[in-house]
Amino acid sequence: MASTFLSSATGRALIGATALGLAASVIPLHGAHAQEVAPAPAPAVPSHGPASVADLAEGLLDAVVNISTSQTVGPRGGQRGGPRATPPRPSLPEGSPFQEFFDEFFNENNRGGEGGRRVQSLGSGFIIDAAEGIVVTNNHVIADADEIEVNFADGGKLKAELVGTDPKTDIAVLKIDPGQRKLTAVQFGDSAGMRIGDWVMAIGNPFGLGGSVSIGIVSARGRDINSGPYDDFIQTDAAINRGNSGGPLFDMHGRVIGINTAIISPSGGSIGIGFSIPSQLAVSVIEQLREFGETRRGWLGVRIQPVTDDIAESLGMDEARGALVAGIIKGGPVDDGSVQPGDVIIRFDGKEVRAMRDLPRIVAESPVGKAVDVVLIRKGEEQTVKVTLGRLEDGERIAEDGTTPPADEAPVATAAVLGMTVAELDDAAREKFAIAAEVSGVVVSEVAEGSAAAERGVAAGDVITEIAQESVSTPQEVVDRIAALKSQGRRNALLMLASKTGELRFVTIRMD
C-alpha cells in the first residue's frame, strides 16, 4: 500500500492488539548414550539500563495540553450554512423491521435543522507563557472551529480564544485565562543546533488517550514534504500519531525544538516517519501572531524557479545553485531594476541560497522594511545589490498584476527556429491566442511535434520575451540571437517565456 502524508491530528481510534504466544520446545535425551550438557553461562546483567527520561518528562507533562474543538456542520457533513443533502425517506412495507431505524435517522436530521450537528476533534498543544496564558498548536487542529477548549492532565478545562493563525506554516496561537489555574510553561530551544542522531522526546495526545510520551532521535533535517512554501521540517522516529498534532518535540534539556505536525503512514499510525516544524521557523511566526494577530513577512517581489543543470550551463555557472529570477512583480520592492529577470540569487542578507526553496523562507523570516544585501549572478558576473523589503501580505494582493514592461514592437515576417515557428505579436495574434495586452515579445505560433522546443513544454501561444537574458521583439531578433549563441559554442539557448496572462518562466532548449 502506498504511503501517504497525514496530519498527525484529530480523530480517535481504537487499536486492537493480539498477543502471540510461542510454545517452548523440550527435546529429551534418549538412551544410554545421552550425555549431560553443562548449562551455558548466564549473560552478564548490566547494573542499570539506559538513562531514564522520567525526570525530564515529569517536569514537562503539565505544560502539554489537549486541544478539543467543536464545529457545527450540516446534517450530511457539510459546513454550516451549506445546502442540506438529506436523502428522501424510503417507502417501506407495513411492519418492516427497518422502520424504527429509518424513523430515528430522519428524525435526527430534522432536529438538526439549519443549525446542523456538532462534531468534535482532538489535538495537542503546549503552554509557552504561563503569565499570559499563551498556548501554541497547529492551525489544522483548530481550523474552522466554533469553540476551542484546552484540557489539562488533571481533568481541568479552560475555554480558549484564538489569537492568530498562519496556514503557511500550520501554526496557531491561543489564549486562556491564567487567573483560573496555575499554569506551567516550557521554553523554545535552538533547532538549528540539533544534529541527526540527537535524542528527542515527543509529548502529545495520540488517539485521544491523554498525555503520552515517546522518545526517538532526529532522523533528518530540512525535509520538504510539499505542505507549504516554507517547508523545513525536522524528521524524527519518535512515535507521532493522530492527535499528536500541535504537541511539542523536546530536546534532552526540556526545550521545545519542534512542533509535531505530520507523518508518513500507509495505515494512519506511526511507522517512525514524523515531521516537526523547527523552532527556528516557529518562534518568529508565533511572536508576530502574538503582537499583531497576523504574520508580517518580508517580501522581495520576484517570481523564481529552480536553477537546473541546463540553465546553469546556459548562464555560464560552474554548478546549479541559487534561485533563478523568472519575473519581477510590478510595484514590488525591486521593480526599480535592482534585480532583473535572469538574475540568479545565491546569497540573501548573508545567508546562502543553495536551492530555490531556500529563498522564500529566508526572505519571509526577514523584517519588513529592512535594507539587505542581495548577492546575485548576472550575465556570468557576481554582483551585490541592496534592496529594501516590502511586506508579503501586501504583495500577495498585487502579485497577479505584475508583468515585465512592454518592449517596442516592429512588424516583421515569421521565422522557423529550434522547432518553433515564431511571428510578430500583432493584434491578430493576440486575439487568436487570447494574449493579454501587457505581454510583449515574439509569439510562438507553432511547435513541431518531437522537436527540442516541444520536449521542453513550449506551446503555441507562448511569447518569447528574452533569449540569453537579452530582450527580443521581432522574429529576426530571435533568429539572430540563436545564431550568435551557436557561434559562441553554446549548446543550450535560455529563453524567457511569457504565458498568455503574463506569467514568466525560463526554459532551456538544446541547439545541437
What is the identity of the amino acid at 257? I
Supply φ then ψ for residue 433, to 5 degrees: -105, 5
Sole residue written with cell 530571435: 478
DSSP 415-464: EEETTEEEEE--HHHHHHHT--TT--SEEEEEE-TTSHHHHTT--TT-EE
**Active-site amino acid positions:** 140, 170, 245
E strands, 176-269, in order: 199-204, 212-223, 233-236, 248-250, 256-265
455 torsion bin: left (phi>0), alpha (psi -120 to 50), beta (else): alpha
d(CA 446, CA 469): 23
DSSP state of 43: P
Per the CB < 8 A criterion, the answer to whether 71 and 119 are in contact is yes
How many other CB atoms sit within 10 Å of the CB of residue 80? 14
- β-pair partners for 260: 276
Q: Strand 117-129 vs strand 371-378: parallel, antiparallel, or unpaired?
A: unpaired
Q: How far apart are the first and last CA of the chain?
A: 44
288 torsion bin: left (phi>0), alpha (psi -120 to 50), beta (else): alpha
| Alpha helix positions (H), 29-142 | 54-58, 99-112, 139-142
DSSP state of 103: H
Alpha-carbon dihedral angle through residues 233, 264, 247, 12, given to the nearest 10 degrees: 160
Sole residue written with cell 545567508: 351
d(CA 508, CA 320): 14
Positive or negative, the CA dihedral 135, 7, 232, 328 is negative
CA distances from 310 to 192, 307, 320, 489, 511 (A): 33, 8, 8, 14, 12
Sole residue written with cell 532551456: 508
Q: Give 74-101 as a 3 state SS string.
A: CCCCCECCCCCCCCCCCCCCCCCCCHHH
How many other CB atoms sit within 10 Å of the CB of residue 367? 12
d(CA 87, CA 82): 15
Cell numbers representing residue 136 in the block: 501554541
